[in-house]
Amino acid sequence: MDKLLKHRAIIWLLLAVNIPGTIYGYIWYGNQLAYTAAHYPGWLLPFVPDSPTASLFFTLALILMLYPPKTVTGVSVRAVIEALAVVTSVKYGIWAVSIIVAGGYQGGPVDWRDWMLMISHTGMAVEALLYARFFICRKMIPVALLWTLLNDTVDYSFGVYPWLPATLEDDVLQVQIFTFLLTLVSASAAWLASRDVRLLRQRAEQ
């Protein structure tokens, strides 16, 4: 299984899915980005498109698997990107599905676009967990955790969190609590799914 997942053809296939998906994700956030630009300080814009940015991190992580950097700085940057890719992809993959289901449970409509989003976001979380064991990100997971907590804090302090289904607009506090808890769970899952690079090197030398 590991050999199949690390095959360059499979990685290129994932890139062929993730790159258009990332672009579509930013387009999906277009209205909220425009609204934020018109009503909020410009520095908040990077905190708006959560899911496509997570997908972007994972896309970059796949590219760095294909073309690993050789310098110390490059390796460090790779580790940070991989950590962000795993933590945020797991977090926002689960978050999006949960919010759509919660909105539908409270009586909101769930159409084909919502099903498409649930399938794609489930894929985000699954692929991140599958590839975490090939990444060198374990030491940088605390950095990814801090960044994601910062993103959560900005989202709910300034009101730039992803727009919710109408049925959840009176449940923002509950969504906020769920979001922060999910960040902690996602970082823990990333830690468990990743491997200690030192152990891998020791096994390779044996």
- Domain spans, the chain: 2-200
DSSP letter for 165, please: P
The percentage of residues in the chain with a pLDDT greater than 70, rounded to a whole number, is 95
DSSP string, 61-91: HHHHHHS---SHHHHHHHHHHHHHHHHHHHH
- Summarize pLDDT for 156-199 with one digit per residue, the tens: 999 999 999 999 999 999 999 999 999 999 999 999 998 765 45
Burial 87-118 (b: 16+ CB within 10 A, else e): bbbbbbbbbbbbbbebbbeeeeeeeeebeebb
- Cα four-point dihedral sign 76, 79, 85, 87: negative
Instruction: Answer yes or no: are the C-beta atoms of 180 and 149 closer than 8 Å.
Output: yes
| pLDDT attached to residue 195 | 76
Smallest CA-to-CA distance from 47 within 156, 142, 164 is with 156
105 pLDDT higher than 80? yes
The CB density around residue 179, as the number of other CB atoms within 10 Å, is: 23
Mean of pLDDT values over 7-17:
96
The CA distance from 90 to 18, in Å, is 15
203 pLDDT higher than 50? no
